[in-house]
Amino acid sequence: MTRTRVISALVMAPAAIAAILLLPTQWMSVLAAVVFLGALWEWLKLSDVDDTLARSILIALNLLLLVVLVWGSHSEQGGTTALLQLMTMIGVVWWCFSAVWMRYPSFGSHHESWARVFKLFAASLAVLPAWCALMLLHSGAEDVVKLGLWHLPSGHWWLLTALATVWMADSGAYFAGKRFGKRKMSPRISPNKTVEGLIGGIVMGVITCMVFSLATGISAASLPMVALIGFITVVAAVIGDLFESMLKRHAGAKDSSDLIPGHGGILDRVDSVLAALPVFALSKLLLGL
């Protein structure tokens, strides 16, 4: 399993980085929509929407909402990010609410229709703002990052910074938890996660965020703000990961699907990202970076 997991990661990581850095925002938005809607498909399954037709209709409705957001972000005077910013803020509010929900993990664990409705709203409130935040980051800056012979829009690099922060925090949490983990962080939701792993993830995520952000040309005086963004982003990523773990416990599932060898499903790979992107994008906006 470990070998399969490593091989899958070695294939996915370079492809993801190349897409982030090289694709124009229009095509990045399409690719992100495919990935996030794939995660939404798995979320709906975990929410007891077993009928394929019903899931297809819900996916189509969420796709329609994405189209409306794109359409509403353009005007005769040019593009506007107001709707994207609004949806990003809604996403941050939602993840704050989800942290409260996880204090009562049995809420929604039954299979009544009312519980399903809560999870369906939660699915859209997780996926749509994350997509909007991704677009804000990827298209948000007109400066250029110089990496050797490469000249990249700084928005592309900021998006990679956000995702690298989450990826490295996940790795840091895994190794720190494996080596030092003793105190359970959330035994009712995810018994394998430890406080020591959380600390290791925060340290690795903050360092990664600071190092990657230097390529955008920010001043040394801005690094404390970047460190704060990295910290908040990692905390949000943990909330996203735990929330998906809660959904899987409710559904009695080990993974969201078996689509990716050694990694489970799409949702298993992007659960942290769904929560982290709105927090990173809004924090960056509010701090003026």
User: Residue 264: its pLDDT value, please?
Assistant: 76
The single residue listed with the structure tokens 């996880």 is 102
CA atoms within 13 A on the CB side of 175: 10
Least trusted range by pLDDT, from 41-50, 151-160, 189-198: 151-160
Residue that wins the pLDDT comparison between 146 and 41: 41
Q: How many domains does the chain have?
A: 1
Structural domain for 86, as ranges:
2-286
User: Residue 263: its pLDDT value, please?
Assistant: 64
User: Residue 105: its pLDDT value, please?
Assistant: 86
> At 242, phi and psi to the nearest 5?
-65, -35
Tell me the pairing of strands 74-75 and 150-153: unpaired
Distance CA 162, CA 289 (A): 13
- Helix H, strand E, coil C: the string for 68-130 is HHHHHCEECCEECCHHHHHHHHHHHHHHHHHHHHCCCCCCCCCCCHHHHHHHHHHHHHHHHHH
- When pLDDT is cut at 50, 70 and 90, the band that residue 8 belongs to is low
Q: What is the mean pLDDT of residues 242-266?
A: 83
Q: What is the mean pLDDT of residues 183-193?
A: 87
Which among 9-23, 83-97, 130-144, 253-267 has the top mean pLDDT? Answer: 83-97
Tell me how far CA of residue 289 lies from CA of 86, 115, 222, 223, in angstroms: 18, 40, 8, 10
Residue 1 has pLDDT above 50, yes or no: no
- When pLDDT is cut at 50, 70 and 90, the band that residue 44 belongs to is very high
Tens of pLDDT, residue by residue over 85-95, are 999 999 999 99
Distance CA 193, CA 223 (A): 29
Beta bridge partners of 184: 194
